[in-house]
Structure 1
Amino acid sequence: MTKDVSRHTLIQSIILHLFPGIIMVMVDFLLVPLIMGYGVPNDLAYNADTVLALVPIQLGILLYVTKRNTGTYKIASQLPYLEKSSLKEYLIFIPLMAIWAIAVNDVLTPLEINFRDTVFTFIPTKYFIGNYDLSSFSNWKIILTSLVCLLLNGFTAPIMEEIYFRGYLLPRINLSQNKAILLNAALFSLYHFFTPWHFFSRLLMTIPLYYWVVKKRNIRFSIVAHIIANSVTSLSMLLYLS
């Protein structure tokens, strides 16, 4: 069943995409020095903003518009991309997206690091995620950081972001399908203000995924792909202990 949705103006779409990111980067600016003062990786600060900013803002907006539009708090009523897909489609498409993401990451990461170190010199290096020597941390701090990152960055943030950005915002962009997908991907990449040097890799990784979400009218594809990608990243530092 297709849900009819009202479209946002272009200005509304831009604000709703970027506002959570603005608040998050402000929280990060305050938290990173505090967290690092306790001698733990700065990843914890960027994960804390999931609890302090990401979820409260995005969930708050969804609850507000749902209550305004329906008189209830059933967020699913505002999400048109909840149609079902076969297990076979997941088993084929998700691995393909993983291969694509790995390829994009391998090609662009060296270029983006160089871009960061030459263009974003005004940002103190303490705000660069992962810009530290793992050998300077005890094993328990590495394990704690990985587990917190897995919970917040691996599961909580991807689920919330996909429901908000792909489930709610994408269908309401008042453009043609392909232009809406491109704008949604671009604004979502820009929303990560704390790592602007990864803009192009995020954009290239996500456009095919979002196209498939719209084609199948099913945000579960992007939820699963996002969880897998973030979970692998969150647990990667545990390889140091092996």
Structure 2
Amino acid sequence: MESSFNIEQDQIQLNKQLWYHFYPGLAILITYIIISPYLIEWGYPGLTALLFVELLVLGPIGITHLWSHGKHLNGKPSLKNVIAYTDKLSWKQYLMWTLVGILACTIVYIPLYPLGLFLKDSIFNWLPEWYFDPGYGTSDMDLIAKVFLAAIVIDGIVGPVVEELFFRGYLLPRMAYLKKWAPIVNGLLFGLYHFWQPHNYLAIIGIGIVISFIVWKKKNVYLGMLIHCILNILGALSGFLAANAGEVILR
């Protein structure tokens, strides 16, 4: 995907940036709201719906949009000239910046997670319980554990890879006109795109800004993928281990 293509010639202005950041989230939210009651009624835990939309909505929308832009640039569906920020790094830089990113995201997340729970109970308590409880809809802890096991792959790899390609590999380089504000705006919009987690906006925005800044600074989207995948895998793994112990971690 490396190219001499000048990304400065393919900038996306802020009004389109807003739409491109938000329309996948709107599609995810609508599908999530529609299918969740049915899956819960059939005895599946609430997390199942989110995994479905990551596979059936986020993945197809993200890849189709990227291929479509590639067709506009290259005359055929392709990622050539679409994914920027692919500068080469040494394995030491990958290791260092991945660890820095995970540490920074953890420092941001730890104090904001309980705040999210507070907002859930005080401001967003009108939302259905399956918005917050990944095990809602069943008492079968073995089934919940299996869903978290699937989440290690779907939410831990598939979702983050598509999101990083779309938000940090495609959209972030195309707001270069914002200069040093680009990673901040990108991280903010990435956080707000998570319409299905409004109580966690502050935490997701904070994490989004950290990842966007690292990708922007090193001009390497693969760092974003590594950080994002590792964080999500750890989250899904902790949910799996908790379910095996008979507990469910609220999101």
**TM-score, normalised with respect to structure 2:** 0.89
* Residue 55 of structure 1: how far off its partner (Å): 1.1
What is the aligned counterpart of 1:220 among 200, 219, 222? 222
Match of 1:157 in 2: 159
Distance, in Å, in 2 between the alignment partners of 1:214 and 1:9 is 18
Distance, in Å, in 1 between the alignment partners of 2:16 and 2:51 is 27
What is the aligned counterpart of 1:29 among 26, 30, 33? 33
Match of 2:74 in 1: 70
What is the aligned counterpart of 1:137 among 140, 148, 153? 140
Over the aligned positions, Cα root-mean-square deviation in angstroms equals 1.8
Tell me, yes or no, if the aligned pair for 1:3 and 1:80 is still in contact at 8 Å: no
Tell me, yes or no, if the aligned pair for 2:187 and 2:205 is still in contact at 8 Å: yes
Unaligned stretches of 5+ residues in structure 1: none
Matched ranges for 1:3-82 at <5 A: 3-5=5-7, 6-82=10-86
* Residue 132 of structure 1: how far off its partner (Å): 4.1
Deviates more, 1:21-30 or 1:87-96: 87-96
* Residue 201 of structure 1: how far off its partner (Å): 1.1
Match of 1:198 in 2: 200
Deviations 1:155-208 (A, max 9, x none): 111111100110111111253222111111111101000001111112222323
Task: Name the count of aligned residue pairs.
Answer: 240
Q: Identical aligned pairs, as a percentage?
A: 28
Partner of 1:81, secondary structure, is: coil
Tell which has more relative contact order, 1 or 2 (C-alpha 8 A, sep 6+).
Answer: 1
Distance, in Å, in 1 between the alignment partners of 2:182 and 2:133 is 30
Distance, in Å, in 2 between the alignment partners of 1:126 and 1:208 is 28
Tell me, yes or no, if the aligned pair for 2:156 and 2:230 is still in contact at 8 Å: yes
Match of 2:248 in 1: none
Counterpart AA for 1:103 = I
Tell me, yes or no, if the aligned pair for 2:187 and 2:211 is still in contact at 8 Å: no
* Residue 37 of structure 1: how far off its partner (Å): 1.5
Residues 1:229 and 1:17: Cα distance change in structure 2 (over 3 Å)? same
Partner of 1:147, secondary structure, is: helix
